[in-house]
Amino acid sequence: MTRDAEDISDSFWRIRRTESWPPRGQVQLPISPSLISVLRRCPLQAIFRASGADAYPSRVSPRARIGTAVHRTIEVLEKRRGELQSRSPREIRAMAVDLFRESLAAGKVQAAHRPREARLTWPDELIRQSEVQLAVAAVKIVHSSDSSATTPSQKSLVVVEGMLASPDGFLRGKPDRIESVGYGTVIVDYKTGSLTDPERLAEYREQCLFYAWLWHATHREWPIEMRIVNPIPSEEHIEAIDVQEVIDHVADARARLTQVASMSIAESACIGKHCAYCSFRPWCEPWWAAEDKIAKSDLSDEPQSFEAVVRLIECWDEPTGRKGHAHMETSGGALTIQFSRDEFPHLAMAIPGDVLRILDARLVPGRASSWYLTTWSEVYTVVP
């Protein structure tokens, strides 16, 4: 197969290693509670994020976009809660579904324009379930009383989605709601991840601790309680806030930031299971260098990623679509990738000698060296 130089020079699916590595961004103050979580997990991921989406376009999964649409719907319901309380449950449910669909439609348009997301399939059943559960949750959100206030006079202040910024310029963040009720101030944060997952809950808790610190830094008052709420499927975590824990967490975050600032790029890479969900894998040289991915592949039915040199591309047409086989060589031996040319046209354009990064291929059952690509897989050509 021959290829015009234009075909690859304009390709989105190309990594020019001398330009893409190392990432040149710097983590800037003020930082957000979610960025602190990223810094703890892998400082290099935070550096990629700080380097800009033009250089390193992120990839948002349809599930994450559905979660965002749920969260946006809740935000609007929260903001309009007072006004909506005179509406019937039926009207509130209908409004919640409309808001969700509108937000989801915007997310789908955005995804359709992003090459890393355009091919991904959307889980229709999850969307349908989200609509049903959100409709039920919407009525509860609108008609719920603020925390445990028993009389209107106990509600002295409700701040919905207010941005909090510490005067020292270290931290800023936006909790979903702060309620100042009769017995003290409560932080309410809505989440769409499961609260029964201990790792997620720990992350959500930590974010609330930072919001507590921000509230104290801006209002000279310590919140007494955090409420983490996942309205779908109606999970809630309520916990008293331990001021010493808040202070310790912020001190730890400051120390972490100082530590990260003095790290080399190589030291900032923290490789682990979390890498499987990292948007920056295509460009992360330490990750590609760290693993003999093929050696592990036949022990697992998890998706695998590897760098390989093209030996031969075979193409043919079938009634079900345009097919291809890429015969490749890795450090662990020869392998074949089965793929759809409709979904991966740039792989069909590869020529012998090209170096490719294949992300998230799956092993063909019963075949030790044959792999296939799914809609979630990605293929990049690596050039110096």
Chain residues binding ligand SF4 by CB under 6 A are 42, 44-45, 48, 269-271, 274-275, 278, 280-281, 284, 286-287
Rounded to whole angstroms, the Cα distance separating 156 from 183 reads 11
For the bound state, the minimum distance from the C-beta of residue 206 to ligand SF4, rounded and expressed in Å, comes to 18
Which residues are within 8 A (CB) of 295 and not within 5 positions of it... i.e. 6 or more apart? 332
State both tokens at 362. 């799956």
What letter does residue 384 receive in the DSSP assignment? -
Q: Measured from the CB atom, is 41 or 174 closer to ligand SF4?
A: 41
Identify the sign of the CA torsion 270, 275, 277, 278: positive
Q: Measured from the CB atom, is 187 or 269 closer to ligand SF4?
A: 269
For the bound state, the minimum distance from the C-beta of residue 355 to ligand SF4, rounded and expressed in Å, comes to 19
For the bound state, the minimum distance from the C-beta of residue 32 to ligand SF4, rounded and expressed in Å, comes to 18
Q: Measured from the CB atom, is 42 or 356 closer to ligand SF4?
A: 42
For the bound state, the minimum distance from the C-beta of residue 288 to ligand SF4, rounded and expressed in Å, comes to 9
Please write down the long-range contacts of 130-133, taking CB distance under 8 Å and 24 or more positions apart: 130/66, 130/69, 130/70, 130/100, 130/232, 131/97, 131/100, 131/101, 133/231, 133/232, 133/233, 133/234
Rounded to whole angstroms, the Cα distance separating 326 from 341 reads 11
Rounded to whole angstroms, the Cα distance separating 94 from 235 reads 22
For the bound state, the minimum distance from the C-beta of residue 44 to ligand SF4, rounded and expressed in Å, comes to 4
Q: In what order do the strands lie in the sheet with 184-190?
A: 157-160, 177-181, 184-190, 225-230, 235-240
For the bound state, the minimum distance from the C-beta of residue 29 to ligand SF4, rounded and expressed in Å, comes to 21
Q: Measured from the CB atom, is 33 or 286 closer to ligand SF4?
A: 286
Q: Measured from the CB atom, is 228 or 361 closer to ligand SF4?
A: 361
Q: Measured from the CB atom, is 46 or 181 closer to ligand SF4?
A: 46
